[in-house]
Copies of this chain bind each other. A is one copy, B any other.
Amino acid sequence: MALIGVLGGMGPLATVDFMEKVVRLTRADCDQAHLPMLVANLPYIPDRSLAILDGGEDPLPAMLSGIDLLNRNEVGVIAIPCNSAHHWYAQLQARSAAPILHIGEACVNAIPDLRQRVAILGTSGMIASGFYQEALASRGIMPVVPDEITQARLDASVRAAKANDVDESTVQLSAALAILIAQGVRAAVMACTEIPLAARNLSAPPVTLIDSTLELARATVAFAVARGWNAPQQVALDRI
């Protein structure tokens, strides 16, 4: 019985959202048919966006320590529900015996083919990192990077969700989307795992939103189910 490893806490509510998505995406009629997970929720990992932007404290040592913890406990795959953390994807994967699913790949692969321009909703650091722009371009999609005023709203939305203030997070996201929609944007990737928390309370916006947390959860469940990690033990099946 292999375990799904989750390097979480970046931030904690986003980790909870990811876990809930994994559970709800799993077809199960009893506990025993669900997928086992080991979740290292380590919120003390230094801020990823700050580190990318201005050389703030390096989060890599704490992330590597989390990767080591998960591997010591023999997880069979690792998901990291934080987009900015994927700035260090190569270093994390190099350290990990278990494969690490890439949230950006999962998210960009989920964009409907007909979209020509897609906005990126994430932290300033993640934008500076540039990996979403590259992933979109590799699919022939033109990335729309929010202007400075819009980006300030998005950063405020992310900060508010990390402080448990989802209402304020929604207000800031809504303001950012209004600007983007006025600029002609009709599709966007929620390329920060706090943004889907804010988006839950939006009245239906006239824009297609791709949820990076949901797409990572889908990729994780597909990986684990393909390997039978949710196979109920025979004893449990006999008793249903």
Q: How many residues of A contact B (CB 8 A)?
A: 48
- Mask: chain A, 40-60; 1 = CB below 8 Å from B; 0 = not: 111111110010000011000
A37 at the A/B interface (Cβ < 8 Å)? Answer: yes
Q: In the complex the two chains form, is A164's CB within 8 Å of B13's CB? A: no
A239 to B9, CA, bound (A): 18
State A36–B43 Cα separation when bound (angstroms): 6
Q: Known interface pairs A31-B12, A73-B69. Does A44 touch B39 (Cβ–Cβ under 8 Å)? A: no
Interface residues of A in 1-58 (CB under 8 A from B): 1, 9-13, 15-16, 19-20, 23-24, 26, 28-47, 50, 56-57
Q: Does A235 contact B (CB under 8 A)?
A: yes
B41 touches A235 (CB 8 A): no
Q: B12 contacts A32, CB within 8 Å? A: no
Residues of B within 8 A of A32 (CB): 43-47
Instruction: Chain B residues near A16: list those with CB within 8 A.
Output: 16, 19-20, 23
Interface: A117 (CB within 8 A): no
Total copies of the chain:
2
Residues 72-116 of A contacting B (Cβ, < 8 Å): 72-73
Does A12 contact B1, Cβ atoms closer than 8 Å? no
Are the C-beta atoms of B19 and A34 separated by less than 8 Å? no
* Minimal Cβ-Cβ distance residue in B for A39: B39
A sample of 30 cross-chain residue pairs with beta-carbon separation below 8 angstroms, ordered by A number, consists of A1-B44, A9-B37, A11-B34, A12-B19, A12-B23, A12-B31, A12-B35, A13-B23, A15-B19, A16-B16, A16-B19, A16-B23, A28-B163, A29-B162, A30-B47, A30-B163, A31-B44, A31-B47, A31-B162, A33-B43, A34-B43, A35-B43, A36-B41, A37-B39, A38-B39, A38-B40, A38-B69, A44-B232, A44-B233, A46-B235
